[in-house]
Structure 1
Amino acid sequence: MSSTLASNTIHSEMIGNAAWQDRKDAAIARGEGNLAPIFIDRAEGSQMWDVEGNRYLDFGTGIAVVNTGHLHPKVKAAVAGQLDRLSHSCVMITPYANAVELAEKLNTLAPGDTPKKTMFVTTGAEAVENAIKIARSHTRRRGVIAFDGGYHGRTMMTLGLTGKVAPYKTRFGPFPGEIYRAPYPIPGHGITEEMALKALDTLFRTDLDPADCAAMILEPVQGEGGFYPAPTAWFRRLREICDEHGIVLIADEVQTGFGRTGKMFACEHAGIEPDLMTMAKGMAGGFPMAGVVGKAAIMDAVDPGGLGGTYAGSPIGCAAALAVLEVIEEEGLVDRSQAIGARFQTALSDLQARYPDVVGDVRCERGAMIALELVEEGSMSRPNPALLKDVMAQCHNRGLIILACGMYGNVIRFLPALTISDAEIDEGLRLFSEALEDAVDGQT
């Protein structure tokens, strides 16, 4: 252990989780809450240790950020090497080579044969904001269609696009205009693909002329909405509709990108080439980095100076992102994601068979973007958020970090690192099974 790490660890261990929570509550705005009163001191791979020395298995990865695991050696080395040369000069003032190299790699990796270009920002919300700007500049139109249950960020534009009120939109309106919403097909909740397409047709007939629509934006697998994959036929039909009317199709791949779903990008499952694609989270192994990749003719619709930001495409973030791409390729993490999903599928399906009254659905068909939906009396129409809270508390007490999502707060999401070992998966699933059993017993 380095002297710096040892010093930081000793300092943190002098104060326990409860005391740090008190200090956090007094110092940080209430709106920036935390899921668990666990203050992490250090992490490596799929394991974390808090300020009291307790060990945790991480099935959340900071919300799909450290896809290559905490502090992957190659990412650490790349960042350290970059710090010896340059930390900032602003890519819009005096650019640097690794930003160009990263853009070239992303342009190559993006789905489809159409020539691509990239622009960089710092957060996923910024990426979405800029994608909307680019689409409007290209089409000279204003209207944007988003979908129920979608999540696109916490800025005012992205909140307007987000299709979930609490806690994201509460008391923050009014939101920007010219945003329209359509249903997202979830058959388990009674929304078929046919119904969703009919509602979109109605929207075009009653509220928004397709000739005034700049863009449609959707997550190929909904994140906060509940980890529901976009049905392939419906997604392809959206591509056709956008082509028919000159509408820019934006795939929000902020959570689904960089190998998370068993493809480099989730839209590849449907064979879709989006016009624009937003990315962040898993892009740079834990360093703030985001961007938009899209068809070159669309990306170049904006005049010089219309895109960017002070920290956009920082040299440190670019170095980390280039290392992440190397790790994904060298370690076969896209295929590993599929193997992780299959391993979870076996264990979670067994749990569903054991607890059919409370486990309404298991979704493992998109690699390591995995969900388990908790219900009452086996019915998807009867969400069980109370049980979810109990399960999460039980997991955290056992040393397993999991996350929640869903319109009704009843979906557990699993986002393990793509570098996680089978032994760590099995250990975490054992802890989860114990937590679910105790939580179910506590409700009966």
Structure 2
Amino acid sequence: MKKVLTIFFISALTFKSYAQQETQWFSKATRVVELQLKKAASAYSPGKNPRSVNPDGTVRLAPYKDWTTGFFPGSLWYGYELTGDKTLAADAKRFTLALDSARYITNTHDVGFMLYCSYGNAYRITGNKEYLPALEDGAKHLLNRFDPKIGVIRSWDFAWWNYPVIIDNMMNLEYLYWASNFLKQPSYGNAANAHALTTLKNHFRKDYSSYHVVDYDPKTGKVIRKATHQGLTDESAWARGQAWGLYGYAMCYANSKDERFLEQAEHIAAFIMNHPKMPKDKVPAWDFDVHNALDTAERAPRDASAAAVIASGLLELSTQVKDGKKYFTYAEDILKSLSSDDYLAKPGENKYFILKHSVGAFLYNSEIDTPLDYADYYYLEALKRYNEIAKIDLKSIKKN
């Protein structure tokens, strides 16, 4: 019996040592997150949030009307959840409340990114009712962009489109699901479900890759054109677009329990995970088809933002199916890559952004191989989701 107990004890110590070794990357990542976010909150001013880094090394700032403006406050909230640092909570509140005017914006679907990532996380974490007026106003404006005849929410009001809907819009449906539950008004959730179903019907190819933009006839609801505003070509698979679709349908299933959304999420996941052009570190180039037409590394930079969204979406999906381990493992591999020196910034560097090497809009020579605020946001969200599943004891890791 004594021998058996000794073997068990040694095995337990070995497993503990292995577990600690396996989670060192996570511990390192959270330390970098805490340091970078605190420095960023001190360096930048609320209402002018860090968005990316310009080619000349200056920081591109996002005013309250910028579609990305909610990501930095949201990152601060996630940083607080990951580390428990109350300074980050105070900073998150300052940067969130500075976006109050975004509640009046009516001309874009991006109010979901602007308000739900900032005010939504603020209310979820604190329960403070001071965040509710902005959330309620923004949700109403988003719902008003839904046309029941077409069955989708209009994304942009650009003059050269008739009724454009982009795959990115799937992300903002979570805001409507929240409003439906919180306000106890089914119209919000019904609009989200309708948009997801119409998008499922019209946005995807036979291989489950997604078009970026579908333009509808506002009078008849018929599809006029399927195109891109971000990808290499109209028929290519823009990497972040595929990530938006994966994340969006996993989220829609979590809120609606409509099996069609879960099935779609798994199909999109299979397209991404099995793609022959996916690099070994699982951080894709900005477009999955870029290698088909362009054969130089300069023309095919990696997009850490797409990888971060994919990781977060896969972690959500891993909790929804019986064989979720494959999704968890793939997401874990992505997070380990993003947490390596190849992508994770050194403390004090990278203009206090967390991740390096993302791509905003390659075809417009905009934000190429640069940090991006939404890459950081979804990376932090993925770390949070990972920790909720893996239940890592960070205090124990730090002690050892």
**Structure with more of its chain in strand, by fraction:** 1
Same fold, TM-score > 0.5, yes or no: no
- TM-score, normalised relative to structure 2: 0.28
Q: Which has the higher contact order (CA 8 A, sep 6+)?
A: 1
More helix by share: 2
